[in-house]
């Protein structure tokens, strides 16, 4: 693992949308358009987004929808130059804590079977595999593994 660097976590604002859009394009074969993030921040009352900054630059982000007591991770990405430094784990822990603070009891997400590093991270965070969504990813028809965690059981 790379060295620990000072990272600031904060709620995403409209000023971050362009940076987040760039991270989407770097991370995903079918990225969300930037206007989707504008809608998430301005219209979707269930959406919560957090960014990670290094020296004032957004280098990672994560989004979730909080529906009653369930948090659903919509997307998470770390800039390629900052991967392997624990930022994704710290970001996910931020989201888990935010979900708990706002009434979340459980958290779910989908992950590609081929994304071994993400699957390892989610298992480290207490997520367990609970099903498959067939042909979930439209870029290659890859299935998605559905993972869940009980947030109260993961509190330290």
Q: What band does 40 get if pLDDT is binned at 50, 70 and 90?
A: very high
Token pair listed for 137: 């990813």
The answer to whether residue 129 scores a pLDDT higher than 80 is yes
- Partnered with residue 72 across adjacent β-strands are 65, 108
pLDDT at 16: 97
Q: What band does 133 get if pLDDT is binned at 50, 70 and 90?
A: confident
Q: What band does 141 get if pLDDT is binned at 50, 70 and 90?
A: confident
Task: Looking at the structure, give the CATH architecture of the domain made up of residues 8-154.
Answer: 3-Layer(aba) Sandwich (3.40)
- Residues with active-site annotation: 110, 122
| pTM exceeds cut of 0.85 | yes
H-type alpha helices, 44-127? 87-101, 116-124
pLDDT at 1: 46
The answer to whether residue 67 scores a pLDDT higher than 90 is yes
pLDDT at 29: 87
CB contact at 8 A, 70 and 16: no
Using one digit for the tens of pLDDT, what is the confidence trace for 84-103? 999 999 999 999 999 999 99
Question: In terms of Cα–Cα distance, which of 30, 24, 63 is closest to 141?
Answer: 30
Question: Quick one: average pLDDT of 10-28?
Answer: 95
The answer to whether residue 136 scores a pLDDT higher than 90 is no
């Amino acid at each position: 693992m790379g060295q620990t660097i000072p990272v600031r976590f904060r709620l995403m604002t409209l000023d971050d949308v362009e940076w987040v859009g760039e991270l989407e394009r770097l991370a995903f074969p079918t990225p969300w358009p930037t206007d989707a993030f504008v809608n998430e921040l301005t219209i979707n009352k269930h959406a919560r987004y957090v960014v990670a900054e290094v020296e004032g630059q957004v280098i990672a982000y994560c989004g979730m929808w909080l529906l009653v007591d369930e948090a659903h991770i919509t997307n998470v990405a770390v800039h390629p130059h900052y991967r392997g430094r624990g930022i994704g784990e710290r970001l996910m822990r931020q989201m888990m804590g935010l979900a708990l603070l706002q009434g979340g009891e459980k958290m779910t997400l989908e992950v590609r079977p081929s994304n071994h590093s993400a699957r390892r991270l989610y298992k480290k965070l207490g997520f367990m595999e609970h099903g498959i969504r067939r042909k979930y990813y439209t870029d290659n028809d890859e299935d998605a593994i559905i993972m869940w965690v009980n947030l109260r059981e993961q509190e330290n």
